[in-house]
Chain A
């Protein structure tokens, strides 16, 4: 327990120095700085192990990982092999869902050259911009992130000066200054959607934490590195109108001994009815498939 005398002493020295505003430019003994430095050192160490977005690997590499592990998992990976050909891993830095979504979506557009889809998502992005504005976000806080996403979207469409190759898309996805900005774009979009439909999301959020919708968005959606849950996935899928399939690889098994792999499709609730009425099965078949293992998302490629 420090005593009060010390404070009195402090105050006296303070009195003498307070006339000249302190010229403390010594950030070195700033403890937050140390913490931040340590944190970025840890991140750098992790970065050595796996890039933000890895290379495409055959699904057998997943089986190798569990060779001496749970038989149920090995059994399930065998089942997955019937349907899926490859996996692309992402770094487990808390942004893996958004990062996987980013790459899977842009790669899909690059391969399909689906300009109708690009126009559709652009309209949704514009909607998201208006949502954030109406929620009171200052435009300058999010516009750079929006611009960077739209730039990536343009560049995967071939035939213009800005067009890029798949290799370049991979490089950009590994470049923090692009990759983290796109992840942050998704975080803004997700947060805006949750707040806009707060009465819908509130019960789900209460099921996860004790936080209000506002607190949840501020502490678990907007900050980088905060992990995603089904609330985030639902909101992002709805906001951008992009269906997402999540395949669950865990140790759960059926009582009758048969092994099956569960998946869940996040199908966006459509805001514009005409689309929903002619959509049918075509619109609801997700072209993005993510593999979920407790705590982490990677990208899966169907056969």
Chain B
């Protein structure tokens, strides 16, 4: 508990110091609980998520950093490796490939990379995975873009 708190505090300081280093990620710690974080990440360019801003929720276990944080999308996203209803993310580093060498910030980077490079062979969203696996890139992109517009872009007017 003490170790995880100390580590998170170091990450907090690092995030403050490097605020401008990664303009695609805005990582914020809950005011009253250092084990709860949220992040706003920008959809990577040249993907159907471009122009969208996606909110992630982090819940950090007491065993951190020996155990990974739990992360999920709060913003609706149509992506093979994100559960359409719960926002759960299928990413190896959040499970068995986790190591303390990762940080909350680098997890955000990995999630952005996953958005740009979906893995349709381990889908949490089968509809999305099936579109990609059947080669319907256009279908996948238009669905993903539609949800980006509906859920991840500020409403005009």
The chain A residues found within 8 Å of chain B, CB to CB, are: 1-2, 7, 10-11, 14-15, 18-19, 21-22, 24, 27, 29-33, 35-36, 137-138, 140-142, 144-145, 177, 180-181, 184, 187-188, 191, 218-219, 222-225
Do A137 and B101 touch (CB < 8 A)? yes
How distant is A36 from chain B, measured CB to nearest CB, in Å?
A: 8
How distant is A119 from chain B, measured CB to nearest CB, in Å?
A: 27
With A31-B86, A32-B94 as contacts: A142 and B126 at CB distance below 8 Å: no
Among B43-51, B111-119, B143-151, the stretch that binds chain A is B143-151
In Å, the complex CA distance between A14 and B149 comes to: 12
In Å, the complex CA distance between A1 and B134 comes to: 13
Do B66 and A33 touch (CB < 8 A)? no
Pick the contact of A11: B97, B101, B103, B150 (CB < 8 A).
B150
Q: Would you call B99 an interface residue if the criterion is a C-beta within 8 Å of the partner chain's C-beta atoms?
A: yes
Do A218 and B66 touch (CB < 8 A)? no
Q: Which 7 A-B pairs have the closest CB atoms?
A: A222-B99, A140-B10, A223-B99, A14-B76, A219-B97, A141-B101, A223-B97
Do B146 and A11 touch (CB < 8 A)? yes
Pick the contact of B99: A1, A31, A218 (CB < 8 A).
A218
Do B150 and A142 touch (CB < 8 A)? no
In Å, the complex CA distance between A141 and B101 comes to: 5
Do A27 and B74 touch (CB < 8 A)? no
Which of chain B's residues have a CB closer than 8 A to the CB of A30? Answer: 70, 72, 86, 88
One digit per residue, 1 when the CB lies within 8 angstroms of any chain A CB and 0 when it does not, for chain B 135-157 equals 00000000100110011000100
Which of chain A's residues have a CB closer than 8 A to the CB of B74? Answer: 21-22, 24
Q: Would you call B95 an interface residue if the criterion is a C-beta within 8 Å of the partner chain's C-beta atoms?
A: yes
Do B66 and A184 touch (CB < 8 A)? yes
How distant is A102 from chain B, measured CB to nearest CB, in Å?
A: 15
How distant is A14 from chain B, measured CB to nearest CB, in Å?
A: 5
In Å, the complex CA distance between A263 and B41 comes to: 53
Q: Would you call B92 an interface residue if the criterion is a C-beta within 8 Å of the partner chain's C-beta atoms?
A: yes
Which of chain A's residues have a CB closer than 8 A to the CB of B94? Answer: 32
Which of chain B's residues have a CB closer than 8 A to the CB of A2? Answer: 126-127
Q: Would you call B11 an interface residue if the criterion is a C-beta within 8 Å of the partner chain's C-beta atoms?
A: yes
Q: Which residue of A lies closest to B67 (CB)?
A: A36
Which of chain B's residues have a CB closer than 8 A to the CB of A142? Answer: 100-101
In Å, the complex CA distance between A140 and B106 comes to: 13
Do A144 and B86 touch (CB < 8 A)? no
How distant is B68 from chain A, measured CB to nearest CB, in Å?
A: 9
Which of chain B's residues have a CB closer than 8 A to the CB of A188? Answer: 101
Do B84 and A141 touch (CB < 8 A)? no
Q: Would you call B55 an interface residue if the criterion is a C-beta within 8 Å of the partner chain's C-beta atoms?
A: yes
Q: Would you call B7 an interface residue if the criterion is a C-beta within 8 Å of the partner chain's C-beta atoms?
A: yes
Which of chain B's residues have a CB closer than 8 A to the CB of A223? Answer: 96-99
Which of chain B's residues have a CB closer than 8 A to the CB of A24? Answer: 57, 74, 87
Do A140 and B97 touch (CB < 8 A)? no
7 further interface pairs, Cβ-Cβ under 8 Å (given A142-B100, A184-B100): A2-B127, A10-B76, A29-B86, A144-B3, A218-B101, A219-B97, A223-B97
Do A18 and B97 touch (CB < 8 A)? no
Q: Would you call B59 an interface residue if the criterion is a C-beta within 8 Å of the partner chain's C-beta atoms?
A: yes
Do B70 and A32 touch (CB < 8 A)? yes
With A30-B72, A32-B88, A140-B14 as contacts: A224 and B99 at CB distance below 8 Å: yes
Pick the contact of A141: B3, B103, B143 (CB < 8 A).
B103
Within 8 A of A (CB), among B61-86: 65-67, 70, 72, 74, 76, 78, 83-84, 86
Q: Which residue of B lies closest to A13 (CB)?
A: B76
In Å, the complex CA distance between A257 and B100 comes to: 49
In Å, the complex CA distance between A7 and B147 comes to: 10
Do B151 and A14 touch (CB < 8 A)? yes
With A29-B86, A138-B14 as contacts: A224 and B101 at CB distance below 8 Å: no
Q: Which residue of A lies closest to B2 (CB)?
A: A177
